[in-house]
Amino acid sequence: MKVFYNGKIITMNKEVATAAAMAVDNGKIIELFNAKPEMPAEYIDLQGKWVLPGFIDTHTHSISGGLYSMGVNLEHCNTLAELFERLTEGNLMGEMLIAWHLDETELREKRFPTAAELDKLFPDIAVLIRRVDGHSCVINKCAAQQITAIQPLKSDFNGTFRARENDQIVNWFHSSLDEEHILKSYDNAARHAIKYGHTTIHTMVGDGYNSLEHYSLLMANMDRFPIEFIPYAQCFNIDAALEAGATRLGGCILADGSFGSHTAGLFEPYTDQPENYGMLYHDDAHWEKIIRRAHANDLQVAVHCIGDRAISQILKYYEKVQQENPKDLRHMLIHNELTSDKMIRRMGENNIVAAMQPMFDRLWAGKDGLYEIVLGKERTRRTTRLRSLRDAGVIIGGGSDWYVTEMDALAGIDAAVRLHNPQERLTPYEAVELYTSHAAWLSHDEKRLGQLVKDYQADFVVLEESPLVSDDIAEIKIIDVYKNGEILNVM
Ligand SMILES: [Zn+2]
Ligand SMILES: [Zn+2]
């Protein structure tokens, strides 16, 4: 038995609210106290610090983030020359070089590097450069030759790949990994998660099409990781998902692309491309079949949808299956960015949940930012509508979409409190819920995770300051992280 005392414990449970001490046995909280209790136990002084439930990130691509953090980071690259320099200094993974976080609009040249430029530097290494949003990429000839040997690429390989070809390319790189690199990527992801105070992260496993990829490898190795991964069978193969024992299907299975790549599906055209309405990656029949069958088999469904046209395509079938055969499956809209009042109302009425990324707003929804350029001002105000969704009864989980943004819950909480549109902002307490109690709801773990009360898992984070009153939530120092009452090293 352990007793943690002298803390300011914010339980995230409305009835208990706060406590000063908690007794933990066998990884679970067995009692909360308002003062230091006397009992035979190991005593741990929390030194008057703030304690919150361990953060939960409800949307990560651990394999990608874990892998790419071993590769080349192109964040804040200013010129192509600098980009090439970073690439040549980067770590190879076997015969591959992978770079991420490229925002070509930040380059002086305002364009992606070409395959010919990459070939000069890397004639014999397969190179992949991913755009920051993950929805476009460039490769060199060496990579193109190996990929087209399996399945031809339609576009000229000297250009930028988007949509399905982007996925085909990324999947080739991922599927070329050996087990050691795959597990190392998850180790990296876990380390990263702990650094930012997470004890649980949702992770997307599968190629987004037909393959579950290394789902069973991850499941077989769950015990080796210091944090808990909540896996999503990220593919359309329902038989494979059921066979693997999955309880949820999807993740970033794509209804559309992204705003930055002009592939998010819109009802009105892009402001900067008046002929372009974006894309729907699949037709209605495809989604109806998948959602219907998954629902019948008690699988929770999660789909990536960004634009209003894509969200409404998925919402239509969630609504249909829920109305025909109501179940507590909590079908999920991932990203759920551009919405109308009516769509939000329908989500609330049909127990639809959302996994959203407040950092998208911080990065891209500001004045003259990406969203205003591609969507215009009026539509930008209808993105990341946390307040409206919450008021309509939609449970929202916060997440990073890591590798897309940093897996940093405090930064996400900060962004949710200070969204660009004041009407959609949350209170600090509500924003913390996104990464604790409400996040737990998304995976049906609300009776086990996300609160610090009796019988819950003793997963918690010790903070220098309270995020409920801080002026700079993103900068609060994380002191310690505990999983099942055991300390994890913060790196
Ligand atoms: Zn996505
Ligand atoms: Zn994603």
- Report the separation in Å between the CA atom of 355 and the middle of ligand 2, taken as the mean of its atom positions: 10
What backbone phi and psi angles, to 5 degrees, belong to 302?
-135, 130
Confidence band of 2 (pLDDT split at 50, 70, 90): very high
Other CB atoms within 10 Å distance of the CB of residue 250: 29
Average pLDDT over residues 323-330: 97
pLDDT above 80 for 468: yes
Q: According to the model, what pLDDT value does residue 491 have?
A: 57
Average pLDDT over residues 116-128: 95
pLDDT above 90 for 155: no
- Report the separation in Å between the CA atom of 463 and the middle of ligand 2, taken as the mean of its atom positions: 28
pLDDT above 80 for 490: no
Ligand in closest contact with the CA of 64: 2
Confidence band of 340 (pLDDT split at 50, 70, 90): very high
Lowest mean pLDDT among 151-155, 176-180, 215-219, 349-353: 151-155
**Which pLDDT tens digit goes with each residue over 284-301?**
999 999 999 999 999 999
- Report the separation in Å between the CA atom of 469 and the middle of ligand 2, taken as the mean of its atom positions: 31
Burial 292-317 (b: 16+ CB within 10 A, else e): bbbbeeebbbbbbbbbbbbbbbbbeb
Ligand in closest contact with the CA of 403: 2
Give residue 51's identity as a one-letter amino acid code: V
Give residue 385's identity as a one-letter amino acid code: R
Beta strands of 329-471 (E only): which ranges? 332-335, 353-356, 396-398, 460-463
- pTM, two decimals, is 0.92
**Which pLDDT tens digit goes with each residue over 414-455?**
999 999 999 999 999 999 999 999 999 999 999 999 999 999
Contact 102, 112 (CB under 8 A): yes
- Report the separation in Å between the CA atom of 312 and the middle of ligand 2, taken as the mean of its atom positions: 18
What backbone phi and psi angles, to 5 degrees, belong to 148?
-70, -20
Contact 229, 217 (CB under 8 A): no
Q: How far apart are alpha carbons 100 and 270 in whole angstroms?
A: 26
DSSP notation for 166-223: HHHHHHHHHHT--HHHHHHHHHHHHHHHHHTTEEEEEEEES-SSS--TTHHHHHHTGG
- Report the separation in Å between the CA atom of 61 and the middle of ligand 2, taken as the mean of its atom positions: 6
- Report the separation in Å between the CA atom of 401 and the middle of ligand 2, taken as the mean of its atom positions: 5
Ligand in closest contact with the CA of 401: 2
Residue that wins the pLDDT comparison between 149 and 51: 51
The tokens describing 111, both together, are: 């364009």
In the chain, the domains with their CATH numbers are 62-175 (3.10.310.70), 179-450 (3.20.20.140)
- Report the separation in Å between the CA atom of 212 and the middle of ligand 2, taken as the mean of its atom positions: 15
- Report the separation in Å between the CA atom of 31 and the middle of ligand 1, taken as the mean of its atom positions: 40
Nearest Cα neighbor of 307 from 371, 390, 386 is 371
The tokens describing 331, both together, are: 């079908």
Burial 33-60 (b: 16+ CB within 10 A, else e): beeebeeeeeebebeebbbbbbbbbbbb
Ligand in closest contact with the CA of 310: 1
Ligand in closest contact with the CA of 405: 2
Residue with tokens 């309405």: 277
- Report the separation in Å between the CA atom of 206 and the middle of ligand 1, taken as the mean of its atom positions: 13
